[in-house]
Amino acid sequence: MSQRVLIAYDWLNVKDGGGEAVLYQVLKLYPEADVQVLLYNDNKFSQQLQGHKVRASWLRFLPGWVKQRPHWLLPFVRSAVNSLDTSGYDLVVAVSSAWVKNIRLQPDQRCIVYCYSPARMLWDSWPQAMTGRTQNQLAQFFITRLASRLRLWDYYSSQSKQYEYIAISQTVANRIKKFYQREATIVAPPVVQPPTLALPKQDYWVIVSVLAAYKQIDLAIKTCHKRKQKLVIVGDGPDRDRLEDIAAGSQYVRFVGRVSEAEKWRWLGQARGFIFCSIEDFGIAPIEALACGTPVIALHDGGLADTIISGRTGLFFEQPTVNDLSAALNEAETIVWDQTSLRRAARRYKPQNFRAAWQTATGVEQLS
């Protein structure tokens, strides 16, 4: 008899980015698995989760204007996670960047935690995550108390040996060790490869990203405007209006919004280079750029230290400043990049390699 598998995920509500792309690949390993999430937008995600029974926590009953703002849900997160029901399952796979990795288990039940990161706002981004949202001292007092309780819950839940940690990068494995004192196996996320070979290059830099403030896309806009070089920004998100205001009047910056897969590959393949200004736990879009034969110019931090080799597949800049990014772009222009080597570097992250690494790390037979 096949194992009954439950896959838990934090949110399938608003964002549909790299983390969700990885979830879809995990679901392919367990095509008969059920899915439980804290919030679920059926209109947006039903096609991707077709064939899976999906259940959301009681947070689904909250008003829509609350559900659109995840930070407003923090007082209810622990209760919502505890409401997820693991009874009747042989294996739980928690794909998590924050909360569902603390899902309540049945006695002797096994849980594989595919950890994107320990909850940033509780650990390495605290207290900046709070002070960046409010300066009201009363609000800060209550948020600090809430975060302290969540931090204790997060830490003590992680100590159970029923949870087995798999990290997406060495950076995340180091965080798991630092904050939870737990060891983690590393299995890099899968990255879908483009269907065509590299395309002839054109004279623009490219960004493919969810448009969110923490992505620091404004740095690339200011740098390319100062250099009088073209920048194409592919994607959409809550920070778009602000970014368009910053780029207003610039003839060098173009927003193309959300595009089809074929268009994404074309924009990536024809770019002279891919600019990446944020600190990420892994970074799927840079690997997609490499797969198109496009070098990556990235801030030297986070998971890209695992995936980008300076001078061979890309270049790093040390500080998120216009001068540092501009210097890296200058250097990138002097290098004749070997597109075959770039594409070869990306092949390490093909979905079939992920499946093999997952099976080795977990010892669980794939159901696909």
Which pLDDT tens digit goes with each residue over 131-143?
A: 666 677 777 778 8
pTM, whole model, 2 decimals?
0.87
- Residue 167 to residue 175: CA distance in whole angstroms: 9
Is the per-residue pLDDT at 73 higher than 90?
no
In the predicted model, what is the mean pLDDT of residues 328-334?
97
Provide the pLDDT confidence category of residue 130 given band limits of 50, 70 and 90: low
In the predicted model, what is the mean pLDDT of residues 65-81?
84
Provide the pLDDT confidence category of residue 69 given band limits of 50, 70 and 90: confident
CATH class of the domain at 204-347: alpha beta
Task: Note the pLDDT of residue 135.
Answer: 74
Is the per-residue pLDDT at 368 higher than 60?
no
**Average confidence score pLDDT of the chain:** 91
Q: Which residue has the higher pLDDT, 281 or 68?
A: 281
Task: Note the pLDDT of residue 34.
Answer: 96
Task: Note the pLDDT of residue 139.
Answer: 72
Give exposure, 123-153, as e/b (b: 16+ Cβ within 10 Å). Answer: beebeebbeeeeeeeeeeeebeebbeebbeb
Percent of the chain with pLDDT over 70: 96
Residue 292: both structure tokens together: 């198109």
Contact 114, 185 (CB under 8 A): no
Q: Which residue has the higher pLDDT, 260 or 365?
A: 260
Break the chain into its structural domains and give their ranges: 5-190+350-362, 204-347
Looking at 126-130, 139-143, 161-165, 288-292, which range is the least confident one?
Answer: 126-130
Task: Note the pLDDT of residue 270.
Answer: 96
In the predicted model, what is the mean pLDDT of residues 161-186?
95
In the predicted model, what is the mean pLDDT of residues 314-325?
96
- Domain 204-347 in the same topology as domain 5-190+350-362: yes
The fold of 5-190+350-362 is Rossmann fold (3.40.50)
For 189-233, what is each residue's pLDDT tens digit? 999 989 876 689 999 999 999 898 889 999 999 999 999 999 999
User: Rounded to whole angstroms, what are the CA distances from 282 to 49, 104, 135, 171, 174?
Assistant: 23, 27, 31, 8, 13
3-class DSSP state of 204: strand
